[in-house]
Structure 1
Amino acid sequence: MAIAFAGAWVWWQPEPKARGTEVNALWARHQWVGEPHTDAEYRALAALLQENRITDVFFHAGPFEADGTVPASKYRYAKRLVAAVHKYAPGVHAQAYLGQIRTVEGKGVIDLDVPAVREQVLKTDAAFLDLGFDGIHYDFEPIYPDDRAFLALLDGTRELTRSRGRLLSVALEQPTLFDAAQSVYKALLPRTGPWHYPPRPTDDFLRKVARRVDQVAIMTYDVSLPTRSLAGWHFARHTRHTLELIGDQVTVFVGVPTYRPKMDWAENLTVALRGVRRGIDELKRPPKRPYGVGVYADWTTGPAEWARYRATWLPPATEKVGPRETRPTTY
């Protein structure tokens, strides 16, 4: 154990060479669609997005009800928000962030195994696209790597979004460290309870998801590791592995936290961004598709965190790093 800690510390010391990118995402609070805002507030939001080179915002617009609907009263100001983003921050994709607790072994809220529920989810998605949203961002949890219903939902949603020239993105848990371990967990552990089979995507499942969507956001945060070097290794490893695995197929956002996790002395925004940059350094070549970080979340990110993000992640204003994402109109 001491050797592992020492090795991680030595690995962590060199300053990363990689610069950040201009393709980045932000998870945003529900109040943007559920409560009224002034024109000045919309302008301030647009200025924040542009200053921090945020290209995609996942505005929380759900959650889904058990039948796949979202009451209109929950997003009564969504159309006004989307119009303001398009007016004051042109080029930024405002996506409807929708999800729910997936029913597993009788526990949860929404049962995606029921075809009628999936059909209603698609109808709800269409209603949000009618409001002007640039895409649909799913966050269903838990998702296990044998979840055929989830893949079927992605197939249907992709048909909907691409028919309208919009984006489909999905948030997933951090992938497995060892795919072989998943079969052991599945055989020995239940899917619910304190000691449960962890819902981690295997390489094969992640490839299947990537073939069906335009963007994948990996929820890399909440690592619960005791040192900064180990937490940094975690972010580096998932950055490198995910970009090598699907970075040529789909835009990847690596999730970084601005909230205070349980072990905030080890895991914080600075450590996460440094780890992501180390992971990029270790790539043999850059991926073919755009990539960046996903900031979680706007309601926990203050001026100090945004300043730290700009200083440690963004490239200089005159430096362009990688292509920017566009709507998938040419697919």
Structure 2
Amino acid sequence: MKCKGRVSGVLGRLLRWAGWTAAYLLGLVALVLAGAWVWWQPEPEARGTEVNALWARHQWVGEPHGDAEYRAFGELLKRNRITDVYFHAGPFEADGTVPASKYRNARRLIAAMREYAPGVRSQAYLGQVRVVEGKGVIDLDDPAVRERVLETDAAFLDLGFDGIHYDFEPVYPDDRAFMTLMDRTRELTRARGRLLSVALEQPPLFDDLQPVYRALVPRTGPVHYPPRPTGDFLRAVADRADQVAIMTYDVSLPTRSLAGWHFARHTRATLELIGDRTTVFIGVPSYRPLMEWAEDLSVALRGVRRGVDQLERPPGRPYGVGVYADWTTSQDEWSRYRSTWLPRPTESPAG
């Protein structure tokens, strides 16, 4: 009986301890959510910029379009102050080439852009799943593959594209082959007076989390522990690229205020880190992510503006947002973008 009583007493204490722990954690979560909600309420003071990017669907280079479609697209770009369009022109084949049949309409597109959207830079958006640990599609560690990638880049520049926009995934901070390709591509684009831009994953909250990612998510496939750029890596890329677009979307947070905090935090951190080195575009989504009640274009834009508010000074180089993507952005969303992001007519545009 005494033994049973002791067991019962220990069990009771464990249950009480578990209950208090759960209550403490729930209270902590409630405080975080309440604090984020309060922080989110004031209207941001900062307005956006007139230097912005748009990712565009492959059909623009792969399929023919009528003159009215080109004219309407050009008007959309001008009305929304889009300065750079990343036209999906790939992906690369495993050998570093892109079949000409995939971009058979590219020359007509470039001519139409010059006619209906003069001054807007058209860049060839090229990428592929990077081979890591033997998994993936394109092996950038192979010098012959890198040479064919450069030859493909040159072919797109010959067509009249204003730049090359890379999106290789995953790219890790120790990826020397990727940095070699960036060096070689910069030589090519600068020799022709064109641009080199690159899309990268959002950085981690702290560089010291990279070893944690490695420990928790081992390299088992083409996408393993999150390919988050460290500060040193991001600065190194910024020194090689004319533009860096941070893919800040897919936040997977449960409330709008937390999702907004995510965009604000990455805006401030990225602009403070590389805003004096290169043009920065903070990626904002117009598609419907998994948690669509928390993340949308309005939340992202408001969050970016809050991040700009937190800067001690404006970046030395232009900055803006990169809208992902043209095929998912409705007219209503474009209207909200203009009303909440673009500078007011009486204001001098930032960036």
TM-score by length of 1: 0.95
Q: Secondary structure at 1:299's aligned position in 2?
A: coil
CA distance in 1, matches of 2:301, 2:282: 9
Q: How many aligned positions are there?
A: 323
1:97 equivalent in alignment to 2:94: no
Deviation at 1:39, TM superposition (A): 1.1
Cα deviations across residues 227-275 of structure 1 (Å, max 9, x unaligned)?
A: 0010000000000000000000000000000000011110001100000
Match of 1:6 among 29, 34, 52: 34
Q: Secondary structure at 1:255's aligned position in 2?
A: strand
Q: Residue in 2 aligned with 1:201? A: 229
Match of 2:242 among 214, 218, 222: 214
The code of the aligned residue for 1:146 comes to D
Task: From the superposition, tell whether residues 275 and 43 of structure 1 become closer, same or farther in structure 2 (CA, over 3 Å).
Answer: same
Match of 2:308 among 280, 286, 299: 280
Task: From the superposition, tell whether residues 265 and 10 of structure 1 become closer, same or farther in structure 2 (CA, over 3 Å).
Answer: same
CA distance in 1, matches of 2:271, 2:150: 29
The code of the aligned residue for 1:311 comes to S
Match of 1:231 among 231, 234, 259: 259
Deviation at 1:322, TM superposition (A): 3.3
Deviation at 1:299, TM superposition (A): 0.5
The code of the aligned residue for 1:65 comes to E
Runs of 4+ in structure 1 over 4 Å off = none
CA distance in 1, matches of 2:223, 2:242: 34
Q: Residue in 1 aligned with 2:337? A: 309
Q: Residue in 2 aligned with 1:123? A: 151
Deviation at 1:131, TM superposition (A): 0.3
Match of 1:25 among 47, 53, 56: 53
RMSD: 1.2
1:294 equivalent in alignment to 2:329: no
| Identity score, percent | 80
Q: Residue in 2 aligned with 1:253? A: 281
Match of 1:57 among 81, 85, 108: 85
Q: Residue in 2 aligned with 1:71? A: 99
Q: Secondary structure at 1:127's aligned position in 2?
A: helix
Deviation at 1:184, TM superposition (A): 2.8
Cα deviations across residues 8-41 of structure 1 (Å, max 9, x unaligned)?
A: 1111111100001000000000000000011111
Contact 2:80–2:334 (8 Å) recurs in 1 = yes
The code of the aligned residue for 1:45 comes to F
The structure with more radius of gyration: 2
- Higher helix content, 1 or 2: 2
CA distance in 1, matches of 2:242, 2:153: 16
Cα deviations across residues 96-131 of structure 1 (Å, max 9, x unaligned)?
A: 000000011111100001011011000000000000
Q: Secondary structure at 2:245's aligned position in 1?
A: strand
Q: Secondary structure at 1:298's aligned position in 2?
A: coil
The code of the aligned residue for 1:150 comes to F
CA distance in 2, matches of 1:55, 1:35: 23
Question: Tell me, which stretches of 5 or more residues in structure 2 are unaligned?
Answer: 1-28
CA distance in 2, matches of 1:14, 1:26: 28
Q: Secondary structure at 1:112's aligned position in 2?
A: coil
1:40 equivalent in alignment to 2:40: no
CA distance in 1, matches of 2:241, 2:346: 31
Question: Tell me, which stretches of 5 or more residues in structure 1 are unaligned?
Answer: 324-331
Task: From the superposition, tell whether residues 250 and 194 of structure 1 become closer, same or farther in structure 2 (CA, over 3 Å).
Answer: closer
